[in-house]
Amino acid sequence: MQKLAIQGGIPLRGEVRISGAKNAALPIMCASLLTSDVLRLTNLPDLHDVGTMHKLLQQMGVAAESATGEIAFRGDKVDHWEAPYDLVKTMRAAILVLGPLVARFGDAKVSLPGGCAIGSRPVDLHIKGLQAMGAEIAIEHGYIHAKAKRLKGARIFFDIVSVTGTENLMMAAALADGVTVLENAAREPEVVDLANCLRAMGARIAGDGTDTITIAGVEKLHGATHRIMPDRIESGTFLVAAAATGGSITLRETRADILETVLEKLAEAGAQIKVTGDAIRLEMSGRPKAVNVRTAPHPAFPTDMQAQFMALNCIADGSAMVVETIFENRFMHVQELRRLGAQIDVEGNTAVVRGMSHLDGATVMATDLRASACLVIAGLVAQGETVIDRIYHLDRGYEHIESKLSQLGANIRRLK
């Protein structure tokens, strides 16, 4: 199993290009199932999850032609409407094929995702939404089997805000008969990016980016070319790493408007931030100040940045409270941070972090994607060597992380 070894204590300096967003790429790739024409996607990140989704779509019969950073998908010969357990268990986002498959072919079989390191993460809202649109759904042998002659528009209220739930139903509704209204829908920028791609394919969607999305179904969608938006979580992760190490970096090809709460928190921690066009510059001198964080659906603070801010708070001046309201078991990094000398107390969904003057390098284990990013940040700050085990989690969501960090001056290498 591969590991990362980091010699900490070097402030990050320089420039780095931000990749296309994983959480926009995955649903948008599934949109290729909605048309028999070519959907050409550019700015696709080179990530393990993107490779897994590519493989899944190919297994279903989607033809794909790849060049660096782009893939042209053609869904005219899709003949296999199933997402098997071995793929879904490694990447929950595979559930996103469900809506497009039932909408276009009237039949879909997708494995239930099962347990996951950061909580139970059910998919009941995806299922209820499709049932409201007239799909017949059976849960058999660990699979969701959905059937429908043609989906019908419906008014659907989400009890809990769900990002992939909103995306799945938005794609299904694009080819349904009549109008669908999604209420208490997710407002994440990746939902807007998917809506932009679907509109380019001929879908009639309004209200994305708000909590009420209206979709007027059409007979057919056509091909399009779409550029994947920049990754706001990768952007935020590099900014926190620079702030925690007292560095100064510039991110290129990103967007500040999708990072507002994160930038506010970094400013509160004492960072100087300057936005120019698609670049964000951050400068930090001295030790960061502790910042309280409470995760909630967009536009509030993202759960996918919680672990990284926990790492920052570990070496900040003062104490901070970190409250996780989205996932019930998303503090797995706490145990590992303690191995580096962090002082953290956890009670339910709240962690109280007492900032220390320094952390000490140690061997730690990554437990999930964002927890891995948090350990990388802690390793960049810690004195001496930190070795991070199980970094396959990191490769699911961060494109070429060690070469990007090396480019910023970090002493980091992959142990094979």
Positions marked catalytic = 116
SS3 82: strand
Q: Smaller CB distance to ligand UD1: residue 50 or 101?
A: 50
- CB 118, CB 91: distance < 8 Å: no
Q: Smaller CB distance to ligand UD1: residue 37 or 190?
A: 190
The CA-atom distances, in angstroms, between 169 and each of 130, 193, 346 are 7, 15, 36
| Chain center to CA of 255 | 16
In angstroms, what is the minimal distance from the CB of 260 to ligand UD1? 16
- Residue 100, H or E segment: helix 98-105
Residue for token digits 């303690």? Answer: 338
317: which strand partners? 289
Q: Smaller CB distance to ligand UD1: residue 143 or 327?
A: 327
Residue for token digits 């059409």? Answer: 218
Structure tokens at 66: 């790849």
SS3 58: helix
Going by the DSSP 8-state scheme, the letter that residue 209 receives in this structure is T
The one-letter amino acid code at 169 reads L
In angstroms, what is the minimal distance from the CB of 119 to ligand UD1? 6
SS3 269: coil
**What count of other Cβ atoms lies within 10 Å of the Cβ of residue 122?**
12
In angstroms, what is the minimal distance from the CB of 397 to ligand UD1? 8
CA distance 266 to 179: 42
The CA-atom distances, in angstroms, between 244 and each of 10, 44, 69, 177, 271 are 10, 29, 31, 52, 10
Structure tokens at 219: 């007979």
Question: CA torsion sign, 47 to 255 to 168 to 203?
Answer: negative
In angstroms, what is the minimal distance from the CB of 91 to ligand UD1? 8
User: Strands, DSSP E only, in 267-338?
Assistant: 272-276, 279-283, 293-294, 319-323
In angstroms, what is the minimal distance from the CB of 3 to ligand UD1? 24
Pick from 94, 121, 113: nearest CA to 29: 94
Listed in sequence order, the residues at least 6 apart from 124 whose beta carbon sits closer than 8 Å to its beta carbon are none
In angstroms, what is the minimal distance from the CB of 382 to ligand UD1? 26
In angstroms, what is the minimal distance from the CB of 187 to ligand UD1? 11
**What count of other Cβ atoms lies within 10 Å of the Cβ of residue 182?**
26
CA distance 335 to 88: 28
Going by the DSSP 8-state scheme, the letter that residue 145 receives in this structure is E
In angstroms, what is the minimal distance from the CB of 251 to ligand UD1? 20
SS3 383: strand
* Residues forming the site for ligand UD1 (CB under 6 A): 23, 26, 92-93, 119, 121-126, 160, 162-165, 190, 303-304, 326-327
